[in-house]
């Protein structure tokens, strides 16, 4: 069984995340969306709300589950017996950042990282941009799944 983890804070989940996950479905038997928590990070949405957004978005997909985790992603992957990490790349800067992490993860654990390029129509979307729009009472709805309601 090919099991993969798609890790992130998903604060909130965006159409970019949605695109990467949907395109990953045919590649893996199971995808675990790992909602990471970092005590040093200030989130706009509490963990339970972020988890609900994601669970509601993927409710119809039996091969997708959503789980919260803390600590290193590779330790979470070992715990859930996943051999792959899925990451989306929007631009060259993402690649350089993610490449170093992927090499380190493979060196420490043998877990492979699979990179998918974001679709052109969602490549400009990031959670931080969405949070900025929400903070300023802008229309964020074209950038997130319909399940993200403020």
Q: Which residues are catalytic?
A: 17, 41, 90, 127
Nearest to 5 by CA among 85, 113, 114: 85
> Where in 38-142 does DSSP place strands (E)?
64-70, 84-89, 112-117
Which DSSP category does 25 fall into? G
Residues 6+ apart with CB under 8 A from 109: 74, 77, 78
CA neighbours closer than 13 Å in the CB half-sphere of residue 83: 6
Continuous segment of H or E residues that includes residue 31 = strand 30-37
Q: Is the peptide bond before 4 cis (omega within 30 degrees of 0)?
A: no
């Amino acid at each position: 069984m090919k099991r993969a983890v798609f890790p992130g804070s998903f604060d909130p989940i965006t159409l970019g995340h949605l695109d990467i996950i949907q395109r990953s479905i045919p590649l893996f038997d199971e995808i675990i969306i790992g909602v990471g928590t970092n005590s040093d990070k200030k989130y706009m949405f509490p963990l339970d709300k972020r988890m609900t957004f994601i669970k509601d978005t993927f409710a119809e997909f039996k091969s997708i589950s959503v789980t919260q985790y803390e600590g290193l992603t590779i330790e979470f992957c070992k715990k859930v017996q996943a051999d792959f990490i899925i990451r989306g790349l929007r631009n060259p800067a993402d690649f350089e950042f993610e490449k170093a992490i992927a090499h380190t993860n493979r060196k420490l654990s043998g877990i492979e990282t699979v990179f998918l390029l974001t679709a052109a129509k969602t490549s400009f979307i990031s959670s931080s941009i969405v949070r900025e729009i929400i903070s300023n009472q802008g229309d964020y709805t074209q950038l997130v799944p319909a399940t993200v309601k403020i």
